[in-house]
A and B are shown apart, each in its own frame.
Chain A
Amino acid sequence: MAMAAAPAQRLPWAEWMKDAALAALVTLALAIPIVGLQAIEVNATLTIRPRFGAVAIGVAVVFLGRLALRAALAAGPAWRMPLARLWAPAGRLLASNAATLGIAIIVLAIALPFLPFASRSTVTIATRVLTYVLLGWGLNVVVGLAGLLDLGYVAFYAVGAYSFALFAQWFGLSFWAALPIAGLLAAAFGFVLGFPVLRLRGDYLAIVTLGFGEIIHTVLQNWVPVTKGPAGIGDVPAPTFFGLPFQNRAPPGVTTFHQFFHLDFSPSQRIIFLYYVVLALGLLTNAFTLRLRKLPIGRAWEALREDEIACRALGINPTTTKLSAFTIGAMLAGFAGAFFATQQNFISPESFTFTESATILAIVVLGGMGSQIGVVLAATILVTLPEIARPFAEYRMLLFGAAMVAIMVWRPRGLLAQRAPSLLLRRQPRGGS
């Protein structure tokens, strides 16, 4: 309406053109050395391969994009309203029906291996998705609830994975016996690391955890007598179903799963079982964190995230509160790590790089910090997209990073920002009782 009323010459095209031209100029300066001139090795010597076509395309895209953006912004409410009208109710709908949606997702997840389209690879991908959901929920406690930025979350994941693999190797511990130990060890690492750092301003935690992730990686690479270095640890035992292993031919004296239930042996039994193990772990984690959020400690986390000084004035000890969130987050990563080790059957430092930490963080940020369902959706999208679209895999990290920036700029509370508060003051109906 406002658009139609405004006469055409009122639109400041000249200014927009200038602005877009400036953006294009900056892009040109950015792109010429890095995109336009590729340092490439030909016959063992470095030479330059020019690619000015790509630069031209980039500059043109930025010019037109900037122009379109300015025009869209100038159109203002008229253009943005429909988008907002679309988004806000979607978020609200999701928030008000979170319980229903959650149950629907759980039912779907339980039924998944027996659905007609579910092949072995589908179940494997679903297991991967759930592993990331587990990690995302763990990191969500740290980042989403307590507002602490942990950039080395993968370190605790690695501690869990390696402690299980090593305990299995040294003492022959089974998965179920080692699972709590892996969680406790990871929690201990989190406690020891968090203790000195959490007393300080939050930003330091980010860089210390970033460094810690790198240190764990370095130690795993170089401490060859224990971790076997880059070669990794193989033959990590698989979990058993109440003592019944999933094997075709059992060692003498051991009944296998298919013998006990008089089934034909099939390798997919093991895969489906692993899927259910991670699903159970995930549901437990979810119940655990939802419960924690309602407890005083969980409310203290969220309060601390919003305003540390106010919390201190109210008598909340920020250091211990933060430390508890950090330690619990580390413990959840330890569980996920033990599961990862048993599922992969083999672990090496390769699996625990900064890229992994960044992926988990991207899942939490995209899903909306503090939102449990958001993490599930984000993990599903971020894990399955590279599986479906292979060419996408190459640009995966680039897009994750760009998405993190874009989300922070446009929707800092995540794509599905409408999160109901954990605790709500319910008004008593007047005169009712």
Chain B
Amino acid sequence: MAYFVQQLINGLTLGAIYGLIAIGYTMVYGIIGMINFAHGEIYMIGAFVTLITFLVLGIVGVTYVPLALLLVLLSAMGFTAVYGWAVERVAYRPLRRSFRLAPLISAIGMSIVLQNYVQLTQGARVKALQPVVQGGFTLMEQGGFNVQVSYLQIFIMLLTTALMAGFTVVIGATPLGRAQRACEQDMGMAALLGIDVDRTISLTFVMGAALAAVAGVMVVLYYGVIDFFIGFLAGVKAFTAAVLGGIGSLPGAMLGGLLIGLIEAMWSGYFSVEYKDVSVFVILVLVLIFRPTGLLGRPDVEKV
């Protein structure tokens, strides 16, 4: 039981990270109907910016942890958002009217470019950072097994909840959110009604990238070990989360992320660590077979 609760907590933490990445996939899919393969790399870049900012702050001498965390968050979100914007501008915007496979191929090309760009500039070796936030408390004790909740896990979950709340407000109650929902329904009509479609799509990418950057911050804090290749698997998993939750649905993405995190933690805890990535993939295929619209998604109506 205690072990189960521990895995539950670990899984939820992991799930929060996947959920934040999944939102980027689901938003982009909702608005322009493409899988942004480069999104996993955007998250990876967020993690690298985080690492670099921590190191710079260490050199500059900012040692007060809350301030350092705030600065790191701002820096990661800011710089990574520029990456999100640039990727859209360079690789997707010129292809709005191209044939069906073009944006997908362009996205996979962009993903390869970003991966190798970081490998060439930052080196291929795994980079490890000293833990920044330490400590925690024991939630319960059973048969000599302590269920630990670290402060970091609480921080991750609180931050995720706050971001989700803020995000729901942005989508539901601001002009930008309204424009996004309008573009999602009918891009041509939205343009006729005076919405700057290109700008709305760009901002969608910027928001998705900023959330992926937060996931990057969390992964650096939580695991402390990153390399240029982390975006690949995290991307596939987050996409699975988005599909599981129902692609196009924001609460679905978060729910899917949490479920994927839980499944992965339980699988590693009770079955085998080597095949934990296989479990996620099996879920993706099963969802696609039995419930392609996901848990919270609406059926996709294909228009001619």
- A residues apposed to B, CB below 8 Å: 26, 29-30, 32-35, 37-41, 46-48, 143, 147, 149, 151, 196-197, 200-204, 206-208, 210-212, 214-215, 218-219, 221-222, 309, 354, 358, 361, 365, 369, 394-395, 397-398, 400-405, 408-409, 412
Contact = CB atoms under 8 A, between A and B. Distances in A.
A147 B100 contact: yes
Interface centre among B98, B125, B278 (most CB of A within 10 A): B278
Given A196-B288, A215-B281, A218-B277, A401 B111 contact: yes
Nearest to B104: A149
A370 B288 CA distance: 29
A149 B79 CA distance: 31
24 contacts: A32-B79, A33-B48, A33-B49, A34-B118, A34-B121, A37-B56, A39-B48, A46-B129, A149-B108, A206-B37, A206-B104, A207-B239, A208-B285, A215-B278, A218-B277, A221-B274, A361-B108, A397-B115, A398-B112, A398-B117, A401-B110, A401-B115, A404-B109, A412-B95
B275 interface: yes
B98 A354 contact: no
A404 B52 contact: no
Contacts of A202: 100-101
Contact of B112 (A41, A212, A309, A400): A400
Interface in B113-139: 113, 115-118, 120-123, 125, 127-129
A358 B56 contact: no
The 6 closest A-B pairs by CB, nearest first: A404-B109, A401-B112, A401-B113, A398-B116, A408-B106, A405-B109
A408 to B, nearest CB: 4
A26 to B, nearest CB: 6
Interface stretch (B82-90, B158-166, B177-185, B250-258): B82-90
B292 interface: yes
A35 B121 contact: yes
A34 B243 CA distance: 31
Contacts of B275: 218, 222
Interface centre among B45, B108, B284 (most CB of A within 10 A): B108
Contacts of B95: 408-409, 412
Chain B contact residues (Cβ within 8 angstroms of A): what range?
A: 35 or more
Contacts of B302: 309
B288 to A, nearest CB: 6
A211 B232 CA distance: 10
B71 interface: no
A326 to B, nearest CB: 15
B102 interface: yes
A200 B275 CA distance: 26
Given A401-B112, A408-B105, A409-B106, A203 B34 contact: yes
A197 to B, nearest CB: 6
A207 B236 contact: yes
Nearest to B75: A33
Interface centre among A200, A397, A405 (most CB of B within 10 A): A405
Mostly, the B contact residues are helix
Contact of B285 (A41, A196, A361, A402): A196
Contacts of A409: 91, 94-95, 106
Contact of A398 (B105, B120, B274, B281): B120
Given A30-B79, A46-B129, A309-B304, 12 more contacts: A34-B45, A39-B122, A46-B55, A46-B127, A208-B284, A211-B240, A222-B275, A398-B116, A401-B116, A404-B109, A408-B103, A409-B106
Contact of B102 (A211, A402, A412): A412
Contacts, number: 171
A215 B277 contact: yes
Interface centre among A207, A210, A398 (most CB of B within 10 A): A207
B82 A30 contact: yes
Contacts of A361: 105, 108
B81 to A, nearest CB: 9
A405 B90 contact: yes
Interface string B256-294: 000000000000000000110110110011001100100
Given A39-B48, A208-B284, A34 B128 contact: no
A365 B53 CA distance: 38
A153 to B, nearest CB: 12
B191 interface: no
Interface centre among B100, B101, B102, B127 (most CB of A within 10 A): B101
Nearest to A403: B109
A26 B84 CA distance: 11
Contacts of A222: 274-275
B128 A46 contact: yes
B79 A29 contact: yes
Contact of A41 (B86, B103, B127, B239): B127
B31 interface: no
A412 B98 contact: yes
A212 B284 CA distance: 11
B51 interface: yes
Given A208-B284, A397-B116, A38 B122 contact: yes
A42 to B, nearest CB: 11
B231 to A, nearest CB: 12
A230 B79 CA distance: 38
Nearest to A307: B304
A149 B120 CA distance: 28
A420 B86 CA distance: 36
B169 interface: no
Contact of A48 (B52, B79, B101, B108): B52
Contacts of B51: 39, 46
B59 interface: yes
A47 B49 contact: no
